Structure 1
Amino acid sequence: MSLPQPVPPSWKDLGKSSNDLLGKDYHFQGASLEVKTQTPSAVAFKVQGTRDSKSELIAGDIEGKWTDKVHGLTLTQTWTTANILKNQIEVENLLAKGLKLDLATSLSPEKGAKTAVVNTVYKQSGLHTRAALDVFKGPTFTADAVLGRDGFLVGAEAAYNVTGGNITRYAAAVGYNAPEYAVTLHALNNLNTFSASYYHRVSRDVEAGAKAVYDSKSTHGGVALEVGTKTYLDASAFVKAKINNSGVIALGYTQALRPGVKASFGLALDTQKLNDANPVGPSHKVGVQFVFDS
C-alpha cells in the first residue's frame, strides 16, 4: 500500500524555488517602503510605496485584511494611489475540505473600469486544481491542474473565451521535486515558448539555480539564460547574485536590523556598458527597500 501523497504545488508555483531565487530580493528599481501592522481584533494593515528611479513616479497602496480562522473567511480591501479600489473575499474549507472560493473585484471610479474574477481552488493528496472566471473580460474561463506522485509533477493550463467559443491559451509542464533540488520544464504560450528551471540547495547556507527560456516566435532567436545563487551570511543576513547571457549582473543584500525591521539593497550592472557616464542609469540601477513588520 502506497503512502498518502502530499498536495503538489499549484500551476503558478511550478518552478517557484528557482523563480524566487532568481527574481526576489533584487531591489534595484528605486526606493520602496513597506509597513505592516496587526490589531488585536485580527485586522492586518499593510502600507507600501515605491519611487521608480527611472520615471521618478511614486506609487503606493494601503491594504486592510480581516481573517476569521474559525470559519475560514478572509476579507481584503485595498486602495491604491491610482485611485483603484480592490476587494477580495476568500472562503476556505467551509463547503468542503480542500476547497477554497475567492471573489476578487476592482473599480476605477475615474475611468469607470471594473473587473470581477471568481476563483476556485481544490487541493487533495496528489492533486491541485484551480479555475477562474473573468466576468467582464471575455468572459474568459481559465483552468489548470497539477498531479503529483513520488516527487514527479505533471500540469496543464487552458483558457476558454466563453463568448467566442474558442480556446485562447494553453500550456503544459512537467517537473520533479526532491528535498534538495527541483527541475521544471514548461511549454507556454500555446506551446511556442519553452522554459527549463533548476534549483539546488547545495548546503544549509547556499542555494543555486538557473533558468533557460526559448521563444520559437522571437525575432531575436537564441536562448535567454540566467543563473544565480544565494548565500546566508548568518541568521539575519543573506547575499544574492545572478547573471544572464546579456551580461547583466544583479546583486542583492538583505539584512534584518532588528526583529520586524528589514533592509534590502540591490544593484544591477550591465557589463557591456561599464563605461557609461552615468553610474546608476540607464544601463546600471540601484535601489533600496525597508520593511517594518510589527
Structure 2
Amino acid sequence: MAPPCFADLGKSARDLFDKGFNVGLLKVESTTTSKSGEAIEFKTTATHATATKHFLGNLDVKYKIPSYGLTLTEKWNTDNVLGSVLEIKDQFARDLKVTLDTSYRPQTGKRSGKLKGEWQRDNMTVNFDMIVDAAPIVNASVVMERNGWMLGIASSLDTASSKIGNTDFAFAKDGHDYSLFSFVRNGNRFGASLYHKVAKNVEVGAHLGWTTGDNAARFGLAAKYCPSRELELKAKVNNESKLAISATHYITDKLKLILSTQFGIADLKDTGHNVGFGIEYKP
C-alpha cells in the first residue's frame, strides 16, 4: 500500500483539531448523487461568515467515466467564479493521476490554472503541481515508507527567479491506533503532532510548534468523545487560552447537525466569543 502524500502526513491529528469546528460560520452542505445509473454527484454549500457578513454559495457537479479513468468537476460560486477540474487516472502510466484545475472570472476576464500530478508505488508517493502562468511556480514532494516509518521532502521553485522556496522535511509513523508526525521548514521552523485513539469512543491529540528566534511556542490539545452512535463531542484548547467546543448530532446516517463555540478562558469578559452552526447531508 502506498504511503499518503506529503500534505496528508499527520492528517489524523489535524482532523481532530479542525473537523467539526465551524466557529464563526453558518454553514449548510448537501451532497447528492444521480439515480439514473450515471456517476453524477451534486454538491451544494452555503456559508455565512458572522464576522464579515459575507455569504458564499458553491455548486459543484462531478461526473465520472470509470472506463476511461476520467473525472470532470464543474464549479460555480456566488462570487461569480467558474471552475473546471479534469482528473485523469491510470491513462498515461500505471498509478499516475494527472489533474488540470482551472478557474475563470467573467467580470474581469482573469484566468488561472494549475497542473497537478501524483504517482504512487507500494512504498513511495510523488506529487507535483505547477501554476500555469508565464513564470510558473513548481511544487514537488516525495514520501517514502519503510516498516511503517515515513520520510517526506517537499520544496518549491520559482522559475522566474530560479529561487528555491520553502523546503520541508517530515517524519511520520502511523500505527494501529496512533499517529506521530514531525517536520522542519527551512531549518528554522519546527513542529510535531500526536494522535492516539485511547478507546473505541475516545480520541486525543496534541500539536506543538516553534520558530527560531521566537521564545513563545505554539501548542494545542484536542479530544473527541462519542457517548453514543448519534452524538460526537469535541474540545480543543491552544496556547492563547482559547477553548473551542463542538457537538455533532447524527440525526440519521446521512444527515448531521453541528454546533460549535469558541471563547477565551483567561478572560471570560473578552467579547471575542464566536459560535458556529452547520448542517451536512451526504447519502
Q: Normalising by the residue count of structure 2, what TM-score does the alignment of the two structures yield? A: 0.95
Q: Which runs of 5+ in 2 are unaligned?
A: none
- Number of residue equivalences: 281
List per-residue Cα deviations over 1:57-93 (Å, max 9, x = no partner): 1112111000112222100011111111111000112
1:54 counterpart = 2:48: no
1:252 counterpart = 2:246: yes
Distance 1:259 1:226 in 2: 31
State the 1:272 CA deviation: 2.2
Q: Paired residue for 1:293?
A: 282
Q: Paired residue for 2:109?
A: 112
Q: Secondary structure at the match of 1:17?
A: helix
| 1:146 aligned partner, one-letter code | V
Change (3 A) 1:43 1:268: same
Q: Paired residue for 1:182?
A: 179
Q: Which runs of 5+ in 1 are unaligned?
A: 1-5
List per-residue Cα deviations over 1:252-283 (Å, max 9, x = no partner): 1111112321111101011123124xxxx5x1
Distance 2:134 2:45 in 1: 28
List per-residue Cα deviations over 1:112-169 (Å, max 9, x = no partner): 3221111110001010110111112731111100001111010001111112122122
Q: Paired residue for 2:65?
A: 68
1:12 counterpart = 2:7: yes
Matches within 5 A, 1:71-90: 71-90=68-87
Q: Secondary structure at the match of 1:272?
A: coil
Distance 1:81 1:148 in 2: 42
Q: Paired residue for 1:196?
A: 192
Distance 1:108 1:212 in 2: 39
Distance 1:48 1:217 in 2: 42
Distance 1:239 1:275 in 2: 25
Q: Paired residue for 2:132?
A: 135
Quick one: percent identity of the two aligned structures?
26
| 2:49 aligned partner, one-letter code | D
| 1:121 aligned partner, one-letter code | E
| 2:9 aligned partner, one-letter code | L
State the 1:242 CA deviation: 0.7
